[in-house]
């Protein structure tokens, strides 16, 4: 499967591994694409899993609706369920990084019957993040979420000089220059950065009702040197998981765990999938 549809939207997806293998859906964040998982997917496929890594809403050229209401959590969750349905998968493992983790937490809380397991990378439970906003330096580390609320201006600033500003910000946050360049090039396409930033612009619409508690078996992996997620937000996450829960801290790792820590992340994910597969 190279594409799937939801209504009039058409999403690009990487479908690898045996068709009859247990499905693992991998969700990227900002400013990534499905390529963020290139270092993790081969290990999962070798172990017999079928991996489905979509370019999410706004990142697929055929799925860039306008307006921030198109990017509220319920729509993003609906996209993931549409992917699973198109792939003929009733229950699946879900792995998400950054904003993809936020979608994964929300889906796990609202549709636990569809999941075998949840793996969240870098970003913890939404309620833990909300708590950290008033009990830590999280507002300072999330300054960009407020800055991009201005319509139009962030796009012009970040994409000026062939995306120099956006690329510089990402590299300073620990992302390798060549990887940052690849993601920025994707976001320079017409409408791409606007759509990606609309994920952030939609956050105020959902702030009053963050995801509920999660009963799905959960693995949470966080880099100790993450410049975007405070320790408060990371360590508070366990309070919002009622099912089996494992928290792994990767010493020395930044926010970009899938891209730069695949050799440490993949074994953790595999162990988690194998513990809660089947049935």
Specify the CATH number for the domain of residue 174: 3.40.50.1820
pTM for the full model? 0.96
Burial class (CB in 10 A: 0-12, 13-18, 19+), 68: middle
What is the predicted pLDDT for the residue at 278?
75
What is the predicted pLDDT for the residue at 193?
96
Band of the pLDDT at 13, cuts 50, 70, 90?
very high
What is the predicted pLDDT for the residue at 152?
86
Are 74 and 98 contacting, i.e. CB atoms less than 8 angstroms apart?
no
The rounded Cα 80 to chain-centroid distance in angstroms is: 11
| Pairing mode of beta strands 9-16, 3-6 | antiparallel
Band of the pLDDT at 211, cuts 50, 70, 90?
confident
Percent of all residues in the chain with a pLDDT value above 90, rounded to a whole number: 92
**Position of tokens 């833990």?**
128
Band of the pLDDT at 209, cuts 50, 70, 90?
confident
What is the predicted pLDDT for the residue at 166?
95
Q: Which residue would you say has higher pLDDT here, 206 or 44?
A: 44
pLDDT of residue 208 exceeding 70? no
pLDDT of residue 28 exceeding 70? yes
pLDDT of residue 131 exceeding 90? yes
**Neighbouring C-beta atoms of residue 16, cutoff 10 Å:** 16
| Pairing mode of beta strands 9-16, 23-27 | unpaired
pLDDT of residue 247 exceeding 90? yes
Q: Into how many domains does the chain fold?
A: 1
Q: Which residue would you say has higher pLDDT here, 257 or 207?
A: 257
**In degrees rounded to 5, what are phi and psi of residue 213?**
-65, 150
Are 144 and 201 contacting, i.e. CB atoms less than 8 angstroms apart?
no
Map residue 8 onto helix, strand or coil. coil
Are 187 and 53 contacting, i.e. CB atoms less than 8 angstroms apart?
no
Q: Give which of 125, 25, 121 is closest to 79, Cα–Cα.
A: 25
Band of the pLDDT at 98, cuts 50, 70, 90?
very high
Task: Assign 3-class secondary structure to 173-239.
Answer: CCCCHHHHHHHHHHHCCCCHHHHHHHHHHCHHHHCCCCCCCECCCEEEEEECCCCCCCHHHHHCHHH
Cα 199 to Cα 29: distance, rounded to the nearest angstrom: 10
Least confident of 117-126, 143-152, 203-212, 253-262: 203-212
Least confident of 36-40, 82-86, 158-162: 158-162
What is the rounded radius of gyration, in angstroms, for the C-alpha atoms of the chain? 17
Q: Which domain holds residue 183?
A: 3-275
């Amino acid at each position: 499967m190279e594409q799937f549809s939801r209504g009039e939207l058409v999403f690009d997806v990487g479908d690898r591994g045996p068709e009859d293998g247990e499905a693992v859906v991998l969700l990227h964040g900002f400013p990534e694409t499905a390529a963020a998982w290139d270092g993790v997917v081969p290990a999962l496929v070798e172990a017999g899993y079928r991996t489905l890594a979509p370019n999410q809403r706004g990142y697929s050229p055929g799925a860039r609706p306008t307006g921030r209401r198109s990017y509220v959590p319920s729509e993003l969750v609906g996209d993931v369920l549409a992917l699973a349905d198109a792939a003929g998968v009733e229950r699946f493992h879900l792995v998400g990084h950054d904003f993809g983790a936020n979608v994964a937490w929300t889906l796990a809380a609202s549709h636990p019957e569809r999941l075998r397991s949840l793996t969240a990378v870098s970003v913890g439970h939404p309620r833990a993040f909300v708590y950290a906003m008033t009990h830590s330096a999280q507002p300072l580390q999330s300054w960009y979420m407020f800055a991009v609320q201005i319509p139009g201006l962030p796009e012009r600033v970040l994409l000026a000089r062939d995306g120099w500003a956006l690329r510089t910000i990402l590299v300073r946050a620990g992302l390798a220059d060549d990887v940052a360049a690849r993601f920025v090039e994707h976001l320079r396409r017409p409408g791409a950065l606007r759509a990606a930033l609309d994920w952030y612009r939609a956050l105020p619409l959902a702030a009053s009702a963050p995801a509920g508690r999660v009963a799905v078996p959960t693995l949470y992996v966080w880099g100790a040197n993450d410049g975007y997620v405070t320790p408060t937000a990371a360590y508070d996450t366990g309070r919002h998981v009622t099912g089996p829960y494992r928290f792994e801290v990767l010493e020395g790792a930044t926010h970009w765990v899938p891209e730069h820590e695949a050799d440490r992340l993949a074994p953790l994910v595999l162990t988690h999938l194998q513990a809660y597969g089947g049935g």
